[in-house]
Amino acid sequence: MGYELRVVRESPIVLADLAKAVEATGFELRGSDEIVARYGDGAHAVGAWRGQVVGEPGSDWQVAQLLRLSAALGARLVGEDGEVYTLRDGVVEVLADGTATEIGKFDEMLGAGPAAWTP
């Protein structure tokens, strides 16, 4: 099991809100719980609905997609350890313990596609 990121907002996300955000941003809801985004000719899992949106990203592309979905829902993207993923001036940052760390340019992360991180 990978590291889990959660889409969190002040008021709970209901499935109807998720469905609207998914449709408006070009994601797809596969079945009743899998959220996918298209890249090239394929659809790739980004997250899942488990009473809230959760994802276990294996690539920067998936992190960027979760961040994009979070914004569409008016929510924050939060990691297991309480760090918050944000987008500032086109750069994805992780805020933890009062420190912001850049992890990449948003457009480049999306352009890289869903190829998995390598150890």
Total number of domains in the chain: 1
* Domain annotation covers residue 101: yes
For 46-87, write each residue's pLDDT tens digit.
999 998 999 999 999 999 999 999 999 999 999 999 999 999
Gap between the Cα atoms of 74 and 95, Å rounded: 18
User: Do 92 and 76 form a contact (C-beta atoms < 8 A)?
Assistant: no
pTM of the model: 0.92
* Domain annotation covers residue 23: yes
Q: Is the pLDDT of residue 17 over 80?
A: yes
Domain, as residue range, for 16: 5-112
* Domain annotation covers residue 118: no
Handedness of CA 91, 106, 112, 37 (dihedral sign): positive
* Domain annotation covers residue 119: no
Question: Residue 78's beta-bridge partner residues?
Answer: 6, 84
* Domain annotation covers residue 80: yes
* Domain annotation covers residue 12: yes
* Domain annotation covers residue 25: yes
